[in-house]
Structure formats: C-alpha cells, structure tokens
Amino acid sequence: MAVKKRKGIPQETLLLIKSASVFILIFGIIPLTSFLIWFFMPSAVLNVVVLDKTVPNESAQEHQAIHWSLNHLKYLKEDGKPYDVSTDYFGYFPGYSADEGKVVDFNQLSQSDKSMLLDKSSMVYYADTYGVYENDFIDDPDDYRSEKIYGGMDQADVDFLEEALKREKYVIAEFNTMASPTPIDIRNQVEELVGIKWTGWITRYFDELDTLINDELPRWMIEAYIDQHEGQWDFKGSGQVFLHERGRLEILESGVDISKDVPSIMSDVNNQRRFGIPEIVKYPYWIDVVLVSRDYDVISYFEISPTESGINKLRDMGLPRFFPAAVSKKVGENGRFFYFSGDFADMRLNNTSHRFYALARLYRLFLHAEDYSQPSSFFWNYYYPLFKTILADASKNVEVIKPD
C-alpha cells in the first residue's frame, strides 16, 4: 500500500506568519520593552521654574520641549509628579478667546513666595517673553502685526532673574527673552546683569523670496523693504532677511551675498564631546544677533557664509562675521548662565511619547543634522542632547528616587 505524503505548511501561510511576527516585534515587543526600561529607570526631583509669555493656545509650543525632556529624563517636581506642559510654568494661560486668557507671573508672587520658590528650585528657564497678540485669536488673521495683549519682560522678571543668579542657580534664557517688545530700560538691566548686548537685529532664512512663487512671505516685510530701497523687490531664490527693532530691513541674497543656503550652527570638537552635539546643524528660524562679554564660553556659533559683499553689508549694519548661538558662563561657585540665540525650545512633540527609552538614538538614526526640512531634526540632534547635559549638571546634588 502506498504511503501518503504529509503536506507541509503552504508558503503563503509561512509568509503570513513571518510578516505577523515582524509586525508584532516592531509594533509590540520593541515598544513594550522600551516603555518598561523607561518605567523602571530611577527618577530624581529637580524643580525647574519656566517663564513663557508666548502661549496663544494649549499646545504651549514655546516650552513644550522643556517639559517633554524633563519627563523623558524622569525629573520630577517637588511633589513627585511629572511636569505638566499646560500648568507648570509662569506666564500666559490661554482660553478660547483673548478675554478668557489669564496671566500668572512673578508679579503675583510675594517676596517670600519668590524666595521660597527659588529655595526649592535648581533651574530657572526663560523660554519666551514675546507675548500674545490679537491676531493669535483670529481664525484667519492677516500677516500684519496686531496689538499686544500681554508680553515683554518686566521689572518682576528682571528681579527674579537677578535673585536666581545671586543664589547661583542654573539659568537658561533664549530668544525671545529681551528683544522687542521688552521696554528698553528693562532690556538694559538684563544686558547689564548677564553681560549680553542685543544688537537690535534679528534675522531669518527664507528659502524663496520671489513673491510670484512664495505667496506666504509677510506683506509687512515686503512693503517695508520696498519703502526703504527705492521701490525695489526683485529677489529670486533664497536669502537671509535682517530686521532691526527700529524698522530697518536688509537682505543678504543667496549666490550674491551668502555662498551657502541656510545658517549653520557650528560647534567645535570639545563641545561636541561635552554636550553630545554634532559639528553642523542647520537652523532656518529666527535668530537674535547678540554680542557677549569675554567671560562667556561659546558652545556654538552661527555661520551664514557671507561673501565679500555680504561681509560689507554686515559691516554696514554694525554686525560681526559670526553670531553666538549658544553661550554659557559660570555664576559663582555652583551656578551657570546659558543663553540661546534662537527659539530652541520651540517644538511640537507628542506629550505621551516621553515614556519610551532611547527615542533620541532612534530618531538620530533617521534625521540628519543638516536636514532642515524636518523641524524635529534640530530638536533630536542638537537641543535635546544639549539640554540633557545641562540638566545632568544642574541635578548633581539632587536625590535619586528608585521605583518601587
């Protein structure tokens, strides 16, 4: 009698099982393992005071990267809870309309309250004081400047900053902290206090200045330039726009005044190793051009690659060849002050994604530091490792809490 051959598993079924296994591994086991590693990592209490006056909506984009990083690295508030991006800061708290918003800032704290707050805090972070404006609450606003609702540094902000430095805290400030609309007398106090001078200029890269191609160019910018330059706006291609607080507008044109597109944040070898940052990171956003005193260490600087004609234009504006991007100096024996000349903490992030271990390594595999087309590339390649290192230094004397 003939023996029947047993049929094997069909190739289609094997392929299906293999595909399902890969799917489960990628979307099940790996994320679960990443979460469990993060969950069982020790945490530490690190009180960070954040000031953000530029919060027109609940996304809190101007300080979201700060809170996300704190939670990802498992730094907790004094009560043992994680940071909440919607409540754990001082500044403007938005409502559905301008009338429903509220202000909770240093002006509302008594002297004893501010003293107690600094006593229990290791870091103060001035994320943004630019403020909120009427256009922020209009569904389809025009691109002209509107009336300010709230914003700019005030005397209470200066006093709190001064006291934090006296107590040798870690302090971080970034653009826009002391630029417009901060009153000049307040700005002068800040400049004297921290040893940084704002030139009055801010600058940003635009990848297309041809108005026939790019209809998103701000109309106020075009009209101001035409008024100041004999009715001319004949730009084509990219360029670097410079705007002075008094209204003067100048443009360095790519291929004429600058030899490379997009400003680069450059860091030397020592700072690359110290902070875990790359040599070159592209940065196409607003920059405030500042001058710093000699006691500062330059972590990184901006390179806009000006040609000879570009250098001449910079000289005519009273600006140097290179601009500081991130600087720091020692404050007493234990403190340190940092200044970032860009909106470094401005980033949209998923508020729950901080619960996964080694996300930074994963993103840096796919996001190249010089790829400015992905806004998150700057966060993962530069801001996060820089801020992580600063937090580690600030937290050296805090108590580590191991999970139960």
Digit-by-digit pLDDT tens for the chain (404 residues) are 455 555 566 665 545 555 555 555 455 566 677 767 777 788 899 999 999 999 998 888 899 999 999 999 999 999 999 999 999 999 999 988 778 889 999 999 999 999 999 999 999 999 999 999 988 888 776 676 788 999 999 999 999 999 999 999 999 999 999 988 999 999 999 999 999 999 999 999 999 999 999 988 999 999 999 999 988 899 999 999 999 999 999 999 999 999 988 999 999 999 999 999 999 999 999 999 999 999 999 999 999 999 999 999 999 999 999 999 999 999 999 999 999 999 999 988 877 778 777 778 877 878 888 888 888 899 999 999 999 999 999 998 665 555 65
As a whole number of angstroms, the distance between CA 261 and CA 69 comes to 30
Report the pLDDT value the prediction gives residue 17, as an integer from 0 to 100: 54
- 319: nearest Cα among 307, 327, 310, 308: 310
Two tokens, residue 93: 């708290």
Report the pLDDT value the prediction gives residue 24, as an integer from 0 to 100: 53
- 263: nearest Cα among 282, 278, 243: 282
Report the pLDDT value the prediction gives residue 58, as an integer from 0 to 100: 86
Report the pLDDT value the prediction gives residue 13, as an integer from 0 to 100: 55
CA torsion 175-181-184-188 (nearest 10°) is -20
CA distances from 244 to 135, 178, 199, 203, 204 (A): 22, 14, 8, 9, 12
Classify 329 in phi/psi space as left (phi over 0), alpha (psi -120 to 50) or beta.
Answer: beta
Single pTM value for the model:
0.90
As a whole number of angstroms, the distance between CA 162 and CA 173 comes to 13
Q: Is 139 exposed, middle or buried (0-12, 13-18, 19+ CB in 10 A)?
A: exposed
As a whole number of angstroms, the distance between CA 264 and CA 300 comes to 10
As a whole number of angstroms, the distance between CA 116 and CA 221 comes to 45
As a whole number of angstroms, the distance between CA 193 and CA 58 comes to 33
Q: How many CB atoms within 10 Å of residue 379? A: 25
- 33: nearest Cα among 300, 357, 298, 309: 357
Rounded to 5 degrees, φ, ψ at 217 are: -65, 135
CB 145 within 8 A of CB 131: no
